Structure 1
């Protein structure tokens, strides 16, 4: 057996104040004093202390035939003390009075079989690399215990016995016990923890997951595997400047490490530096010469490919024409558009025969020409499409597609589009991404990130497309990440609620006081969780996944920080000061918290 797998340290050096175990040091403390009343998980401050601390609880049941005489003797001693104080005219000791009342209540419950007694020993072993560090950690552990009225005393000259007592051997070599009842013993176990729940006994933990950050309650590491959930979608809600893009970029980078292919809709060029670092592709919609043909057919062999492309075109054109009051297509216009789409493909030699699907696809101006040759209703639709076919918005649609978005990371940049075209650009990018996701020949996991999703959610047809994508992504081994700063607007619509409810992973970062009520109602947050989100720092928030609620702070390495943080100019901020040496917290500015 190798030294790394040895069941015991190579050497154990015993001193009065500690033991040296291999290349480290350990000191054991016994819990000698307890509070009169304990609450649930009263040992949690010791178990969650941010250092290497081992807590052992040794329990031996007291036989019922011994429990009653033991309590009777204890009550007699307490009552004798009370009477002695009374005979000498001294004031009664509140501690003795409380203990006498507790002993009487416990004796009554034991007599009725409502409780049992146990001899319990609680021992704490602190580990450190040096003697100085051991002293510092020991002082911190004793202070944390004192905060909950637990008195820790060192096992002087017996630290080797204390070290053995806290090993998983089931042997109590110290023997410092205290009698407890069933309720107090049950409350000692931390069934409620601030960390993620461990898998049930007999079930192996899932392999996978990425680092989300550090638990702000327990200082534990938060690892989460979105691909192991009911669906693979995630929604990130936060106010502007709360660090949501920083968190999403860190998550995206770590997903790429695991071989996931990703596509990002980026309104402000925040993901361009990351794409350049990993060798991804950047599609800059709006730049001269960049064109996307919405009539392109996907590389698929399904018999209904042409029909599905026609239905998707209805959504794209509806977004182009707008779906506000007085601008939505009526039934007659939809029928005319449907006939024109079929006729346009037919004129290009593309029919329901899969052999024709490799021919060059028609363009949007071709569809407008087909509408112009139709009846009066069709010509009206053509007139409304004129800005996109021959007018000021036609630059992206006047030729075949000039970009190849097939990459392990594709960033669709909308920075060069005017504000009036960003909703259409988002829809075009999503449509092109979905064509790739919907390809049955693809077997890799794919991630679709929609940053500033409010651009699409404000449009009715765009919101419906995003909701359909959220519902259908799981069946295609894909995950949708929706990022938005307008939480109240998203949760105020049925389609927005549908997008949120179809995300098994929900991340809430800092919220504005105006939107917190809507967030509380939608996610069923407690008052404490609401206060946490209102006062959270940059990169701090709450992971919500079913019944799981974990507060965390996003963290990144120095290299990840350089790719994830964004300066006001939209360029990666240079790494400065301590960010080169130690991990930095999720921020979107110059301030970092260790």
Structure 2
């Protein structure tokens, strides 16, 4: 065990140590700012390199504190009087120190605080001397920005390194006196702001602006596609009216500025105005002449103009068609039906010249009518029954979605799949076809830019087996395709009470909680480890307020939008009254069938 943590060798130099293949340099902080704020040492803990921070604290008993403060006040007052007697100008630093000493002495005398002797030591690690020099320069620059005076532990580099090990040994003994309020601000190193990716950088923060920090009034930026992210997924939970869709549309709009491609599954037409304003594409399933053929093969056009498809594209499409047919007839297929359906699918493709030879995959694919005709030709009971059950989707009332080839191949920076016009009887299969189209877009190797898939009101999708499988698959493997999943729901209990829903939440690096209902707060508190204060905040949060959780970091924020953004993303009926009132509505006269 000892051999696992002790370096192979230690070479001691004046200002650094060589610990095996590693180089370390230690610093003692000798100068501190006059005033500090809570979490003021957090930039040290958020340093992007490997930095050890050690804080040694020794309490000073009240009697000793009073005696030392009395001596300090005597020295300061004596110096001021001596300068005044000799006609010297007052020293502002001495005046400030005297006022601080009087204030501290009063608080200690009243028992409102205590004194502590504090030593702050830093050890920076690097792989070579050149890297160590760069790290030292960056660390000293960071300390200077915090008004900390960090001094090398020259000729005591070994003692400095040992002082930063978790041994509780202070071999440097360079201490400063802190009172209770100053020490509490330094411990436990918490900050209300998200850590910067690089505290030494003066560049603007990357990512999307979500709003302002309620605790510090700073801005909350977050980059879901940043380096070091385990995945690019996000889950947003909040009760009705908490501002979920507003926040998502705001993030969506600002992600478009950064070149992120977005696909939205929109059950209630909430993204139509936004798509129209930014030149997006809307696919309105259920409308006239809008079809998605489930037989389409995932053939992609590469950057060189040639068309390509996965080697097992035909086999995977056959498996997908089994799912589509099961959804259409509303039950799982038995063994006989699966066998005859598998043969019929292969025969349907062969009837239009598509075989296992990939060179034939660019030909026009069959349709549901082709499959029904093949089943009718078999003559056995299982095939005949399947063909009869497909009748309404080929010739009947529900044929509008399947009667022909795919009419639209959406392409663009924003694609909105609207499901509002789908009748309830086609909602399930329409959702399956939409998810398939989105998945083919995600896995298209010709698209290399980041992509987001937004699923609004995901609770209804999780209730569908095919929809739940899509969410689970996308949350797991979306990162490999540089894609992120955004799941939005107001029914937190329905999502969290489902195994698939819990898996989707667990695989979301970014988790946003808006205002919650009292019935759901206990389950959310257990799942997200919310403190009592955070629970109270979520129960009383205003519209647009919430918690942004990213791993171990958590920040309370208020979403903000510019007037132009607000006009595009709001769904407040009162604000949309004028716009809707000015729109012309077409009515059909059922007598002469003319629009008026």
1:73 aligns with 2:76: no
Q: Are residues 182 and 98 of structure 1, via their aligned partners in 2, closer, same or farther at CA, if it must alter by over 3 Å?
A: closer
- Mapped contact 1:319–1:459 kept (Cα < 8 A): no
Q: 1:570 to 1:479 in 2, by over 3 A?
A: farther
Deviation at 1:572, TM superposition (A): 8.5
Q: Compared with structure 1, are the counterparts of its residues 73 and 320 closer, same or farther at alpha carbon in structure 2 (3 Å cutoff)?
A: same
1:337 aligns with 2:369: no
Q: TM-score, normalised by structure 1?
A: 0.66
Relative distance call for 1:515 and 1:338 in structure 2 (3 A) is farther
1:425-457: CA deviation from partner (whole Å, max 9, x where unpaired): 222111111112211222121211111222221
- Going from structure 1 to structure 2, the CA distance change for 1:505 and 1:337 (only over 3 Å counts) comes to farther
| Cα distance, 1:358 vs structure 2 | 0.9
Report deviation, 1:424: 2.5
Q: Measure how far apart 1:30 and its partner are.
A: 7.0
- Total equivalences in the alignment: 442
Contact conserved, 2:66 with 2:108, CA < 8 A, in 1? no
Post-superposition offset of 1:239: 1.6
> Which of 570, 577, 585 in structure 2 is aligned with 1:565?
570
Matched, 1:429 2:434: yes
- The equivalent of 2:360 in structure 1 is 356
2:196/2:205 contact within 8 Å kept = no
* Distance in 1 between residues matched to 2:441 and 2:40, nearest whole Å: 51
- Determine if the alignment matches structure 1 residue 497 to structure 2 residue 505: no
Q: Distance in 2 between matches of 1:469 and 1:500?
A: 12
| Pairs within 5 Å for 1:160-171 | none
Residue 218 of structure 2 corresponds to 220
Structure 1 residue 335, shift from structure 2 partner: 3.5
Contact 1:67–1:117 (CA<8 Å) still a contact in 2? Answer: no
- TM-aligned CA distance change 1:535 to 1:504, over 3 Å: same
CA distance in 2, matches of 1:560, 1:248: 12
CA 1:167 to 1:499, structure 2 compared with 1: closer, same or farther past 3 Å?
closer
Q: Is the 8 A contact 2:515 2:546 kept in 1?
A: yes
Q: How does 1:549-588 map to 2 (within 5 A)?
A: 549-568=554-573
1:102–1:407: structure 2 CA closer, same or farther, 3 Å change rule?
Answer: closer
Of 420-429 and 236-245, the range deviating more from structure 2: 420-429
Structure 2: distance between partners of 1:166 and 1:204: 11
The answer to whether the 8 Å contact 1:315/1:462 transfers is no
CA contact 1:565–1:572 (8 Å) conserved in 2 = no
Residue 134 of structure 2: aligned partner: none
Counterpart-to-counterpart distance in 2, 1:339 and 1:353: 17
How much has 1:518 moved relative to structure 2? 2.6
Instruction: Look up the match of 1:241.
Output: 241
Shift of 1:569: 9.2
Alpha-carbon separation, structure 2, partners of 1:75 and 1:261: 64
2:40–2:191 contact (8 Å) kept in structure 1: no
Match for residue 281 of structure 1?
281
- The equivalent of 1:590 in structure 2 is none
The match for 1:536 among 541, 547, 553 is 541
CA contact (8 A) 2:435 2:467 kept: no
Corresponding residue for residue 23 of structure 2: none
Q: Deviations over 1:366-397 (max 9, x none)?
A: 22333333443333333333332332222110
TM norm structure 2: 0.66
Deviations 1:553-594 (A, max 9, x none): 11100000001101449968769xxxxxxxxxxxxxxxxxxx
CA distance in 2, matches of 1:474, 1:235: 15
Instruction: Identify unmatched segments of 5+ residues in structure 1.
Output: 1-28, 32-41, 49-60, 78-94, 107-114, 120-164, 172-177, 576-594
